[in-house]
Each structure stands twice: as C-alpha cells, then as structure tokens.
Amino acid sequence: MAEVVFWIVVFLRFAVPLLIPRWPLPAVLASLVLDAADQTIFQAFGYDPPFYQSYDKAMDVFYLSIAYLASLRNWSNLHAVKVSRFLFFYRQIGVLLFELTGVRALLLIFPNTFEYFFIAYEGIRARRNPLRYSLRFWVLVAAGIWIFVKLPQEYWIHVAELDFTDTVRDVAWFGPAVVIGLLALAAVVWFVVRPRLRPPDWRLRLTADPLPAAIDEAGERAAFRAEHGRVFGWSAVEKIFLIGIISVIYGRVLPGVDVSDFQLFLGIAFFVVINSAIGLWAARRGYGWDSAAISFAVVFGLNVLIVFVEDLLLSRRGDGLSLGDTFFFIFLFSILTVLYDRYHPVNEYRTAAAKNEVTP
C-alpha cells in the first residue's frame, strides 16, 4: 500500500504541473502544496523513500521547468520574463551543484526565488495589468522574496534540516505562533496595504491570458519559427541547458542510470540539435499541430526512432541506460521539447513586437 501511495504522489507531481500553462496560479500552488506535503504523506504510511532529498529536488526541477516555459508563453511583461529567466537558471545551477557535491548549503546560496516570483507575478496579473510595472519593480519583488522569504526558508529546510509538520507536532508554541503571525500579516495586507492600492484593472483571472492573435495558432508559430529560427542559436543553447540540467539531476536519482553526468548532458545536447534541425525543417514546410498531445506523440515517436537507429548504427549491447530509463528520458525530453518549441516563439514574437520589428 505504501508503494502505491508513493507512485500516486509521483504521478501527481508529474501531472499537476502540466496544468500550469493554462491555469498558472492554481496549478503552481497545487504543485507547491504537493511539494510540501509529500514527505508527510509518505511518513503517514510508514514509507521513507531512499534518497528523498534528490527525489524532491528532481520533482521540483520538473515543475519549475514547466512554470518557466509557461512564463515564456503567458507573460506579456518582458522585464518580468528576464528576471524569471535569471532566477530559474540560477536555481537550477545550484540544484545541479548540490547533486554533484552533496553540500546542502548550496541550496541556501542558490535559493528557489523563481517559484515565489512566479506566484507573485501571477497573483498580480490575476487582478492587474502587469504591463504597468517596470523592470525596477520586478527586481525589487524578486529581491524581497529572495531576502525575506526564501533565505529563511532554505536555511530552515536545507541547513537546519527542520520539517514544518514535525516542528508543529513537537514544539507546543510553534503552531499557534505561526497562526498568529499569518493573521497579523493578513491584517496588515487587508487594512494597511489594500486601501493604498489602485483599483483592480479587471475581475479575478485565474486562466492564462490569450496569446497574441498573430501567433496563437500552430501554423503562425511555425511560420514565425521558420523565419526567425536557427538550429544553432541562443534558443538552442537555452534549451540544451534547460533539458540537460534536469536530465543530469534525474540521472543521479534514477537507480538504473549507468552513464556519467557529462555523457548524459552530451547525449541530451545531441538530441536537442537533432530535434531543432527537424523542427525547423518541419516549420519551413508549414507542419504543425494545435494539439499539444499530437505534437508530443509525434516528437516522442520520432525520438524513439532516433534512439533505435542510433543503437543499430553503434551496435550497442546493454551499455549505458536501461530500456526503462531510456524511455523515461525520451518521455521527459519530448515533453520539455514540445513545450519549449510551442512557447518560446511566443516570447520571441513579443520581444520582436516591442522592438517594432513586427507589427503587434
């Protein structure tokens, strides 16, 4: 029973983040709750997953990757996108260094500020137009989260190695103190901050805003990619590091992976280049699907075929990844590739429009 619960939780931690592009705030909050509650759930069933810290970081990296890709799709404020890009990759570098060294203090030096920055942006967008705010505003938001929220939290979790639910259970005054603190904070927000805010720009919005009309269809995204895309460019570099880092992190968690981190990263880089070349070729011929599920099925099948042909050409016999691990990495790679190729052109279009290179 405990293992069944474990796999249900793992499934949810993979499935719920896929809702973030359409319902950013509710889905990322649900992912955050799952992240906070999974260890408590496991303990309630008497199950202690081996290498929990690495497992937890791997799950975090996946859902934060989906959130980052959602920011490329949804965020109209390009200053906020720049801040989120820095915060996201800064954190991933820290997680990778933690996996390579095991030094927990690295997670304090590289705090997960991106997570709460994403929540802050979507919380603002839910009632107000994010285009009203400057780069300075978003930097101050990120700095406030970094200093006053994430540094204490990262110290609590990764340096002091304390668990919230265990502390509530073991320290009589801690739970009431937290409740009183939250009520005081809510009172300050409601009675002091709220009256000073300008009126909301619109009613509560929990779904993502519509994409720009000029690039909201698969054919339009393919045409834009065909005109502006490059096999070797900054987008390819970003995609290599995005997928490569998460693959190395998962490679250190999965027990059947028998390749070095460098070999795995190079293998992912090879797949990114091949997929980019094929994707650009398809875009220039007008191929594209509005359905993400169909796009994923095509990319997944193509990558399985590439791996099969590669194995035949290299005549490999049992070296490297097991069959299960190979399909897992193809699955992971294909999801992130499809979402990146669908969402990155939207951000590029907005950037080009802001520079008056295309008509908004």
Least confident of 49-53, 93-97, 206-210: 49-53
Q: What Å distances lie between residue 348 and 275, 329, 334, 341, 342, CA to CA?
A: 19, 27, 21, 11, 11
Q: How confident is the model at residue 121 (pLDDT cuts 50, 70, 90)?
A: very high
Contact 16, 114 (CB under 8 A): no
Q: What Å distances lie between residue 109 and 11, 90, 120, 279, CA to CA?
A: 30, 10, 21, 37
Structure tokens at 77: 């404020």
Highest mean pLDDT among 79-93, 159-173, 296-310, 316-330: 79-93
CA distance linking residue 55 with residue 66, whole number of Å: 17
**pLDDT exceeding 70 applies to what percent of the chain?**
92
Tens of pLDDT, residues 303-350: 888 888 766 665 555 555 667 778 888 888 899 998 998 899 999 999
Give the per-residue pLDDT at 357.
55
Residue 93: phi and psi, rounded to 5, are -60, -40
Q: How confident is the model at residue 182 (pLDDT cuts 50, 70, 90)?
A: confident
Domain range annotation of the chain: 1-209, 210-360
Give Cβ neighbours of residue 205 (< 8 Å, ≥ 6 apart): 125, 126, 127
Q: How confident is the model at residue 359 (pLDDT cuts 50, 70, 90)?
A: very low
Least confident of 28-37, 132-141, 168-177: 168-177
- Provide the CA 309 distance to its chain's centre, in angstroms: 31
The predicted model scores a pTM of 0.88
DSSP summary character for residue 202 = S
Burial of 263 (0-12, 13-18, 19+ CB in 10 A): middle
Give Cβ neighbours of residue 101 (< 8 Å, ≥ 6 apart): none
DSSP tally for the chain: helices H, then strands E: 15, 0
- Segment 120-148 mean pLDDT: 95
